[in-house]
Structure 1
Amino acid sequence: MSSVDVVELILQDHRRMEDLFRAMRNVEADRSAALAELAGLLTAHSLAEEDEVYPALRRYKNVDGDDVDHGVHEHREANEALLALLEAGETASQEWQEKLEDLVTAVNHHVDEEERTLLNDARENVADDRRAAWGRAFREARARHLENDCGSVENVRKLVADTKD
């Protein structure tokens, strides 16, 4: 399996997010740094999926379009929870801890569903070379979003506001 397989790249991001959640729960860790990395990764990951992966998956008859739509909806929920955490202030506060758990819940729910539905559908229905092409496009889109500081509180505010319109 190629290291550019889109399914593998998405799974790697999911595992990194789990690592960052563990760090953010650890009172001895640099929670602010973990949050900054998570904000960038989560935002770039979601945008790259929506730019490159989800539209491609919609074209496959054995992939449920409702699952794709649901994934987009869950990205919106995660953005809202991320914004609440970014705006919560001091990492030692009770509010920050609560907002962190809200974000963990939203992201873990999405990751679980995406891995059981869309990613398995992609494994079963999309040829290896096509998944590799999608992987390259996903990786390029994710890098482009990261370069544009997509995880900044200003950008996350904009993403959340854009979905409310």
Structure 2
Amino acid sequence: MEDLFRTMRNIEADRAAALEEFADLLIAHASAEEDKVYPALRRYKNVDGEDVDHSVHEHHEANAALLALLEVEDTTSEEWEEKLEELVTAVNHHADEEERTLLNDARENVGDDRRAELGRAFREARAQYLKADCGSVENVRKLVAAADD
């Protein structure tokens, strides 16, 4: 993620290609979490359901920031720089907060075998999303529109 952020900040790099790769990875990651991990974590009494809900909300915020950047046509523009920093901020905030709350709860309250099982399910779902071109601008638009409903 950080490598792709650095590439997208580099005026001499192929920013559009880096964004395409990042979009696929971000959407696949969030979608797999929401499909396979979050529903399981909701069933644990010592895992805060509000933290799960908040993480889903932050995925929606990151998706909206991603869409805003995907819709910028000129990768050398000031608009690109602004939208990129909004995306970086949203993603970094979510990763930091999720690590400190939800994932710590899971480490403390979900057994090793079950966490390993969830990890396998996550990786399989993520791979399927990546095969489906989940980061395309059309798909991200659908995700953002669905979250707004």
Pairwise TM-score range, normalised by the shorter structure: over 0.9
TM-score by length of 1: 0.88
Aligned mates of 1:152, 1:109 — CA distance in 2: 23
Aligned mates of 1:89, 1:30 — CA distance in 2: 13
List aligned pairs for 1:48-67, cutoff 5 A: 48-67=32-51
Gap regions ≥5 residues in structure 1:
1-16
The answer to whether 1:74 aligns with 2:65 is no
Q: How big is the shift at 1:60? A: 0.9
List aligned pairs for 1:70-149, cutoff 5 A: 70-149=54-133
Counting matched residue pairs gives 149
Gap regions ≥5 residues in structure 2:
none
TM-score by length of 2: 0.97
**Aligned CA-pair RMSD:** 0.8
Q: Aligned residue for 2:18?
A: 34
Letter in 2 for 1:97: E
Deviations 1:48-99 (A, max 9, x none): 0000010111111111100000000000000100000000111111101100
Aligned mates of 2:74, 2:124 — CA distance in 1: 34
Q: Aligned residue for 2:9?
A: 25
Over the matched positions of the two proteins, sequence identity in percent amounts to: 79
Q: How big is the shift at 1:124? A: 1.1
Aligned mates of 1:37, 1:150 — CA distance in 2: 10
